[in-house]
Copies of this chain bind each other. A is one copy, B any other.
Amino acid sequence: MSTPSRFKKDKEIIAEYESQVKEIRAQLVEQQKCLEQQTEMRVQLLQDLQDFFRKKAEIETEYSRNLEKLAERFMAKTRSTKDHQQYKKDQNLLSPVNCWYLLLNQVRRESKDHATLSDIYLNNVIMRFMQISEDSTRMFKKSKEIAFQLHEDLMKVLNELYTVMKTYHMYHAESISAESKLKEAEKQEEKQIGRSGDPVFHIRLEERHQRRSSVKKIEKMKEKRQAKYSENKLKSIKARNEYLLTLEATNASVFKYYIHDLSDLIDCCDLGYHASLNRALRTYLSAEYNLETSRHEGLDIIENAVDNLEPRSDKQRFMEMYPAAFCPPMKFEFQSHMGDEVCQVSAQQPVQAELMLRYQQLQSRLATLKIENEEVKKTTEATLQTIQDMVTIEDYDVSECFQHSRSTESVKSTVSETYLSKPSIAKRRANQQETEQFYFMKLREYLEGSNLITKLQAKHDLLQRTLGEGHRAEYMTTRPPNVPPKPQKHRKSRPRSQYNAKLFNGDLETFVKDSGQVIPLIVESCIRFINLYGLQHQGIFRVSGSQVEVNDIKNSFERGENPLADDQSNHDINSVAGVLKLYFRGLENPLFPKERFNDLISCIIFHSTAMRT
């Protein structure tokens, strides 16, 4: 009946169960260990964060102190100097001094901000981490208590399973044994009946009687065993049912623990951890972002002051600061001698002719001088522009130094290359000084000429006044009243449309090809206008016109119109000159090719030097 190779023995089943329970138990221990380890790691991380911020606070404090010392040192120095007193009296600082003060202010601001940063680290961020650490430990303890209860519950369930399984085994074993006993009784009964089936007459009466009581006995026993079997069978069924129900409950409980409760336990450990960490780190971020904003505000103030670095207003302030030195002196008055009552140039008969002659000589001399000096002036101004371009070159962007590439050392190496290799600077500076040299030479020449002109012009004008008003108008006004009518050919020569090629900031050759204008209308028109009204105008091409008007004229030309075609045009001559300058300045390829510029300049220098010797 028993086939031991097919059925597991009780012992095996128990061993299997026990090993399964042991495994679960080990897992439960392991889980607690993991949670504990996680908490330890958290506490360690929070300790590291505290140490980190404590140390960083120290660094920030030191940085702040150093910056403060720096600012104080220069503030004190500035306060002590005479210049400072002088400047402080004046509310309007010179623009470079203003920048300097703002620089010092910025350092003070940075100092304060880094002190604040340090303070926030120490009194806020670190405290938060400390509290999170406490909280984590407490949460772990509490969740450990809960875990302990859950484990106990689980163990209870597993024990119950063990008990009902054992009960089932026992009742089933009993049921099997009762069944086998019943079967044995049935067999005996069969044997008895079989024996009584033998011819009955051969048996003695006593024997028959004996046999009958034995059959009865067997029947009784069988009945008893039948009852016993039924009872045990029912018990076994109930035990099996109980076992199956408990098995189901156990599996559900185990499942619940592993799928839900474990997750809840971890959640308990985590309770508030991420959110509090979030807040602590956000406090740090808030401090850093605010530091940045404050720093940025300060830099913007400095940038604004740098934008206002302005030689013109500084010159004004400088001259106002020393009125005694820069105030023009009294005019020299005519000192009549010994009651001489004539105080004007007399042009009576004997001297009139001579004065006339002299006047004419002056006039022609002046005309020549002016033309010559105008040339010198143009060269001077062009050279000045070159210098201006040199000193306003935008070479101050250092953003490439702050590129963070992956490799650690790359930043350092780029920096060294950044501020233009030494030879390049030296060359640039040599070039600049050469241009300067030339500029000063030309300026001197120009000033000499203009001084002479001033003198002669004064005499010329006085003579003119003396001799009559005849020839004056041509030289004093920019708009002679008797301008000849200009040809109207350019007017509305093109419809209101844009050119295909770019006019401003474009390429001249492309434009000429595209528009079919051999000389661009803008050049022709501006030069005609300046030729008509501007040649005697003081400061033409030097004084800048109205930006608004310049833009108007420019836009008009870009639409293909000719805004200067009007005869009685009311454009400011300086604006027209400005448009022409703007046009040439903007050309993609300058009229004098860049690669030839230095050659041309050195050519002039050579030529001028040769002329001098």
Interface presence of A382 (CB below 8 A)? no
Majority SS at the chain A contact face: helix
Tell whether A357 is near chain B: CB-to-CB under 8 Å.
no
Contact partners of A252 in chain B: CB under 8 A: 454-455, 457-458
Could you tell me the distance between the alpha carbons of A335 and B243 in the complex, rounded to whole angstroms?
9
Q: In the complex the two chains form, what is the Cα distance from A104 to B462 in whole Å?
A: 83
Query: Does A97 sit at the interface, judged by CB under 8 A?
Result: yes
Stretch at the interface among A288-296, A507-515, A571-579, A591-599: A288-296
Within 8 A of B (CB), among A24-79: 24, 27, 30-31, 33-34, 38, 41-42, 44-45, 48-49, 51-52, 55-56, 59, 62-63, 66-67, 70, 73-74, 77-78
Question: Quick check: B322 and A302 within 8 Å, CB to CB?
Answer: no
Looking at A281, A297, A416, the one whose CB has the most chain B CB atoms below 10 A away is A281
CA A184 to CA B391, docked complex, whole Å: 76
User: What is the size, in residues, of chain A's interface with B at 8 Å between Cβ atoms?
Assistant: 210
Contact digits for A106-125, partner B, Cβ 8 Å, 1 yes 0 no:
01010011011001100110
B7 close to A338 (CB less than 8 A): yes
| With A329-B27, A335-B17, A418-B120 as contacts: A100 and B49 at CB distance below 8 Å | yes
Task: Check: A299 CB closer than 8 A to any chain B CB.
Answer: yes
Supposing A387-B272, A398-B290, A448-B149 touch, asked if A259 and B328 sit within 8 A by C-beta, the answer is yes
Smallest CB–CB gap between A488 and chain B, Å? Answer: 40
Cβ of A388 and Cβ of B275 under 8 Å apart?
Answer: yes
| Contacting residue for A45 out of B100, B168, B397, B443, CB 8 A | B100
Question: Measured between C-beta atoms, what is the minimum distance from A203 to chain B in Å?
Answer: 42
In the complex, the answer to whether B173 meets A271 with C-beta atoms within 8 Å is no
Q: With A267-B311, A275-B391, A319-B266 in contact, do A399 and B351 touch (Cβ < 8 Å)?
A: no
User: Of A207-215, A342-350, A516-524, A580-588, which binds chain B?
Assistant: A342-350
Give A129-156 as 1s and 0s: 1 = Cβ < 8 Å from B's Cβ atoms. Answer: 0010000001100100110011001000
- Which of B3, B248, B311, B390 is close to A458, meaning CB atoms less than 8 Å apart? B248
* A337 cross-chain contacts in B, Cβ below 8 A: 7, 10, 13, 168-169, 172-173
On whether the beta carbons of A345 and B245 are closer than 8 Å, the reply is yes
How far in angstroms is the closest Cβ of chain B from A26?
9
Q: Which of A113, A119, A342 has the most CB of B within 10 A?
A: A119
The A256-311 residues at the B interface (CB cut-off 8 A) are 256, 258-259, 261-264, 266-268, 270-297, 299, 302-303, 306, 309-311
Instruction: List 8 A-B pairs, Cβ < 8 Å.
Output: A2-B338, A20-B332, A131-B429, A138-B436, A169-B337, A237-B348, A244-B334, A270-B311
